[in-house]
Amino acid sequence: MAKVAVVEGDGIGHEVVPVAREILAAVRPDFEFFDVEVGYGLWERTGSACGEETIADLQSADAILFGAVTTPPDPGYRSVLLQIRHALDLYANVRPIQGEGVDIVIVRENTEGLYSGIEWTEPDRACTVRVVSRRGSERIARYACTLAGSRRHLTIGNKANVLKSDCLFVEVCTAEAARMGVPCRARYIDALCLDLLMHPDLYDVVVTTNMFGDILSDAAAYLVGGLGLLPSANIGKRAALFEPVHGSAPDIAGQNIANPVAAIRSAAMLLSHLGDPASAAAVEEAVHRVLRAGIRTRDLGGVAGTREFGAAVLREVGQR
C-alpha cells in the first residue's frame, strides 16, 4: 500500500492539489495520503518555509504530490523546491511536452551544474561554480537512455564548444547511449533551443544539464501554448515528487478559477511511477475527454471552475 505525501504549498496549490488528490484516491482507494505543509504560509508563521521534520516526513512517502510555493520577499531565502530536490536527491527532472505534432520529454539533471550551491562573493565580483560530475552525469544519462530506449532516440543538449564541464557530460551520455543501444546525437543548447521550436518532430527525449534544462523546458513549452497544462516529475533513487510546472499564481488564488489539468497530469505521472500505468492512462484519457467535451477553465476560454472541472474528470474516471 503506497503512502503519498500531499503538499499543497501556496496560492492555487490549495485548489489544484485537492482536485488531483481526489482523482488519485478514486482510482487507487488503497493509497494512503498524508498532508505536509511547506511554503510561504509556513514561513510567515514559523520563519522557515521547510523544516528538518518536513524533509523527514517527505522521505517517508513513496511519492509526493506537490502544488506550488510562493517565494517570500526575503533575500536570504532559499527556494523550498530547491531544498527538497537537494535533500531528497531528486536527480531527474522529467518534463513531457505533448501536443499537436509534439511529443518530447526533457530530462534535466536536477542536482548539480549551476545549482551546485558553490558560490562566493568578492568585493567586486560574484562567482558560481558549475559542477558536472561523472556520477551525476551517469545516473541522468541512464535515466534518459532507459526512457529513450522505449521511445525513439536521445538528444544531448550541451555547450561543449565553450564549457569543458560539458565535454564530460557529452562523453558520459554518449557512452551510456552506446552501451544501451540508444540512437543519440549531441546538439549545442543555443541551436537546440531554436531547432526544437522550428522542428519539434525531430526531437524525442532530450537530456541536458540543470540550468540548460530549466531554460529549454520553458522555451519548449511554447510549442503547447505555455506552461499552463504541463506536469513534471522529480525522481530520486527512493523519493519522487510530482508537480505542475506552473507556479502558485497568487493573483488568481482563492477564486476557483485555476486550471487543475497540470496537477491532475502530475498525479498521472505519479501513478505510472508507482507501477500503475493503466490508471495513469485512464486519468490522462479522462482529462482529454473532458477537454474535448468543451468543459474548460477560464484560461482555455471556458467557464468551468477548478472544482467543477475536477468533478467532470472524476466522473469520466469513474466510468471507465
- By annotation, the residues acting in catalysis are 115, 159, 190, 214, 218
Distance, first Cα to last Cα, the chain: 23
Q: Choose, by CB under 8 A, the member of 26, 102, 168, 252 that binds a copy of itself.
A: 168
**CA angle, 90 as apex, 89 and 93 as ends, to 5°?**
150
Distances (CA, A) of 175 to 109, 153, 178, 182, 207: 17, 14, 5, 10, 14
As a whole number of angstroms, the distance between CA 155 and CA 6 comes to 34
Distances (CA, A) of 154 to 55, 157, 182: 34, 10, 7
As a whole number of angstroms, the distance between CA 6 and CA 189 comes to 35
As a whole number of angstroms, the distance between CA 271 and CA 279 comes to 7
Chain CA centroid to CA 283, Å: 18
Q: How far is the CB of 272 from a copy of itself (least distance, A)?
A: 25
* 163 lies in the binding site for a copy of itself (CB under 8 A): yes
Q: What is the DSSP letter of 65?
A: E
* 193 lies in the binding site for a copy of itself (CB under 8 A): yes
Q: How far is the CB of 47 from a copy of itself (least distance, A)?
A: 19
> Which range binds a copy of itself by CB under 8 A, 16-24, 98-106, 194-202, 258-266?
194-202
* 25 lies in the binding site for a copy of itself (CB under 8 A): no
Q: How far is the CB of 198 from a copy of itself (least distance, A)?
A: 6
* 197 lies in the binding site for a copy of itself (CB under 8 A): yes
> Which range binds a copy of itself by CB under 8 A, 91-99, 127-135, 282-290, 302-310?
127-135
Closest CB to ligand IPM: residue number: 79
Q: How far is the CB of 306 from a copy of itself (least distance, A)?
A: 23
As a whole number of angstroms, the distance between CA 177 and CA 154 comes to 8
Q: In the complex, which residues of this chain contact a copy of itself (CB under 8 A)?
A: 71, 75, 79, 82, 114-115, 119-121, 124-136, 159, 161-165, 167-168, 189-191, 193-194, 197-198, 211-212, 214-215, 217-219, 221-222, 226-227
